[in-house]
Amino acid sequence: MRRGTSAILITIVASAVSVGAFAKRLPPKPVAPLAADGVRYEVPHFGAFHGKEQNGGFVQAWDARKNQLLWDRMIYRIRYDRNRERDVQDVFITEIHLDGKTLFVTNESSERFEMDLASGKVRALTPLGPGRELPVDSAKH
């Protein structure tokens, strides 16, 4: 009986280790939504599952009372290298905060951005890493 239990434990541990060895990256942590002036700002991590060209880099504004999407904004674009796995190139937003009419965004690479909520214009506050750039039309809602 003891040998059977040991064999089962070895099989379970070996399976867990082999599954973990193939994991590309840990999933991103959720970002707490913010609310101000009747608008809720959220960070949807997995845009590629919803018709977006990338995962990460988006912020949404919702009418907090009606629960209707007001806008969905790309903060930064990820240029994927075709020779590398896409998921290891994803860069997710880790924090958002408001200061007046400016939304500040920080991502996993410690890159910081500001978005003017009136115009929708996005500006990088730090240099962007390889494979990332501002959207072509940074003032489009």
Q: How confident is the prediction along the chain (141 residues), in pLDDT tens digits per residue? A: 555 555 444 444 444 444 444 557 788 999 999 999 999 999 998 876 677 788 899 999 999 999 999 999 999 999 988 898 878 888 999 999 999 999 999 999 999 999 999 999 999 999 999 989 998 775 544
CATH of the domain at 88: 2.40.10.480
In a domain, 75, yes or no: yes
Q: Do residues 57 and 74 touch, judged by C-beta distance below 8 A?
A: yes
Number of structural domains the chain divides into: 1
In a domain, 139, yes or no: no
Q: What is the extent of the structural domain holding 67? A: 34-133
Distance, in Å, from the CA atom of 55 to the CA atom of 129, rounded to the nearest integer, reads: 16
For 15-41, b where at least 16 C-beta lie within 10 A, e where not — what string?
eeeeeeeeeeeeebeebeebeeeebbb
Q: Tokens 């609310």 identify what position?
A: 35
Distance, in Å, from the CA atom of 94 to the CA atom of 24, rounded to the nearest integer, reads: 19
pTM: 0.77
In a domain, 15, yes or no: no
In a domain, 8, yes or no: no
